[in-house]
């Protein structure tokens, strides 16, 4: 996809505003870490790897002009504001942690040199994410038949990463390998990442995509020859339990019921070995207005109670395989995931 999700541009961070897609392509420019934090919180940018990149770039912006002990204090303030934005995607904390290592290793530098190191690291996080997605895509493409009908949920595409995508990276790599691919995209209530974003980027790349409402997935799995389900993840625990966009868990249950493989595309930065299982993953709850309003218009009784968890946890037992940039993990995941994490340092 030619459009850049996020970009470092001459001491600013530029992002496409994903809240306005697919009808408007508007770019926002941030000069300050607070703006980046608000962009993550309000979902101008979303998707676990993309918010990891945004957090790293946000830290770089926030550290400009600081050095020595003042830099250490400043880092805590900047990191706290960014960390508080969205709790589930572990990539956010991972991106900040990478920047912390830069701070610790360069405390003796003057302000300009330290800022340069932060800037370089943030750009490196961005570039590595692109490479990771291509590598993950190639491993995943080997699991995809030819022809294949792939069902996906939410948006784990170029828009959710530095580019290319994780689940949609597998779709793209399978296409590049010459396979005939067709995609069903769950609409993904309530934020509509599937119908707005997945459909937008696949359609732009001329990859055949059909939108369905989330409630139609069982019908599609039962009668539309789905070869596999591929989704992304915000955080995968050490035992292979997968936190991803709300609605992923029912999809995994339905896939098992219909004997369809359920794959998770997970860069190693989304795998949290410090989380023993899914119960330890913090699940973000978002404002009830995402359910009671639609495009700013009220669609439910005023004052009614809501429950709006942004993610759910799919038990490892329902996951056929986890695709990473260093290879494909199979059950038992406790062993296979830690082996892959260790591989290559
Ligand atoms: O709330 P979102 O849009 O940030 O949720 C995104 C997802 O659930 C994605 O599937 C996940 O972050 C993986 S993106 C490669």
Q: What is the CATH number of the domain that holds 49?
A: 1.20.120.420
141 and 196 share one domain: yes
Residue ID of nearest Cα to ligand 1 atom 6: 47
Which pLDDT score, from 0 to 100, does residue 2 have? Answer: 78
Which pLDDT score, from 0 to 100, does residue 344 have? Answer: 66
Of 72, 107, 134, the one marking the end of a domain is 134
146 and 128 share one domain: no
Cα dihedral across residues 254, 259, 260, 263: positive or negative: positive
Which pLDDT score, from 0 to 100, does residue 199 have? Answer: 98
Which residues of the chain have a pLDDT value below 70?
344-345
Whichever domain contains 214, its CATH number is 3.40.50.10470
* Residue in 186, 234, 272, 312 annotated catalytic: 234
The whole model's pTM is what?
0.97
Strand partners, 148: 181
147 and 196 share one domain: yes
Of 134, 168, 190, the one marking the end of a domain is 134
Q: Is 218 exposed, middle or buried (0-12, 13-18, 19+ CB in 10 A)?
A: middle
Residue for token digits 């330890």?
280
Q: Tell how far the Cα of 153 is from the centroid of ligand 1, in angstroms.
A: 9
Whether 255 is in a domain gets the answer yes
67 and 147 share one domain: no
102 and 143 share one domain: no
127 and 141 share one domain: no
94 and 141 share one domain: no
* 3-state SS track over 111-161: HHHHHHHHHHHHHHHHHHHHHHHHHHHHHHHCCCCCCEEEEECCCCCHHHC
**Which range of residues forms the domain containing residue 325?**
137-342
143 and 279 share one domain: yes
Whether 88 is in a domain gets the answer yes
Rounded Cα–Cα distance for residues 131 and 123 (Å): 13
Whether 1 is in a domain gets the answer no
245 and 312 share one domain: yes
234 catalytic residue (yes or no): yes
Beta carbon of 232 within 6 Å of any ligand 1 atom: yes
Beta carbon of 193 within 6 Å of any ligand 1 atom: yes
Beta carbon of 140 within 6 Å of any ligand 1 atom: no
291 and 175 share one domain: yes
Whether 226 is in a domain gets the answer yes
Beta carbon of 233 within 6 Å of any ligand 1 atom: yes
Beta carbon of 321 within 6 Å of any ligand 1 atom: no
Our CA angle for 86, 92, 93, nearest 5°, is 105
Beta carbon of 234 within 6 Å of any ligand 1 atom: yes
Q: Tell how far the Cα of 147 is from the centroid of ligand 1, in angstroms.
A: 27
CA dihedral 41, 45, 46, 50 (to 10 degrees): -120
Q: For the chain, how many structural domains are there in total?
A: 2
Pocket test for ligand 1, best of 47, 136, 233 (most atoms within 8 A of CB): 47
pLDDT per residue as tens digits for the range 80-137: 999 999 999 999 999 999 999 999 999 999 999 999 999 999 999 999 999 999 999 9
337 and 239 share one domain: yes
Rounded Cα–Cα distance for residues 115 and 18 (Å): 29
274 and 318 share one domain: yes
Whether 248 is in a domain gets the answer yes
């Amino acid at each position: 996809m030619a459009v850049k999700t996020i970009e470092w541009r001459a001491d600013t961070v530029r992002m496409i505003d994903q809240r306005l897609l697919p009808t408007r392509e508007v770019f926002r420019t941030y000069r300050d870490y607070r703006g980046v934090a608000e962009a993550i919180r309000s979902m101008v940018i979303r998707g676990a790897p993309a918010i990891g990149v945004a957090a790293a770039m946000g830290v770089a912006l926030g550290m400009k002009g600081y050095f020595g002990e003042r830099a250490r204090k400043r880092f805590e303030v900047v990191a706290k504001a960014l960390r508080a934005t969205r709790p589930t995607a572990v990539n956010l904390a991972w991106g900040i942690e990478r920047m912390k290592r830069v701070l610790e290793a360069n405390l003796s530098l003057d302000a300009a040199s330290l800022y340069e190191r932060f800037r370089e690291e943030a750009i490196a996080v961005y570039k590595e994410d692109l490479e990771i997605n291509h590598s993950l895509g190639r491993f995943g493409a080997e699991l995809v038949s030819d022809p294949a009908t792939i069902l996906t949920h939410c948006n784990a595409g170029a828009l959710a990463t530095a580019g290319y995508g994780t689940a949609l990276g597998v779709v793209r790599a399978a296409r590049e390998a010459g396979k005939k691919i067709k995609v069903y995209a769950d609409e993904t209530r309530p934020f509509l990442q599937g119908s707005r974003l997945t459909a937008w980027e696949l359609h732009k790349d001329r990859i055949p995509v059909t939108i369905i409402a989330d409630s139609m997935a069982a019908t599609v799995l039962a009668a539309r020859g789905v070869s596999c389900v591929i989704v992304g993840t915000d955080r995968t625990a050490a035992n292979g339990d997968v936190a991803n966009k709300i609605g992923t868990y029912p999809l995994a249950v339905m896939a098992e019921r219909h004997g369809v493989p359920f794959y998770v595309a997970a860069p190693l930065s989304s795998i949290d070995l410090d989380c023993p299982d899914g119960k330890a993953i913090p699940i973000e709850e978002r404002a009830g207005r995402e359910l009671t309003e639609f495009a700013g218009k009220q669609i439910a009784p005023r004052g009614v109670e809501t429950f709006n968890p942004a993610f759910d946890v799919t038990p490892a037992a329902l996951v056929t395989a986890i695709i990473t940039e260093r290879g494909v993990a199979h059950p038992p995941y406790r062993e296979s995931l830690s082996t892959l994490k260790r591989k290559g340092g």
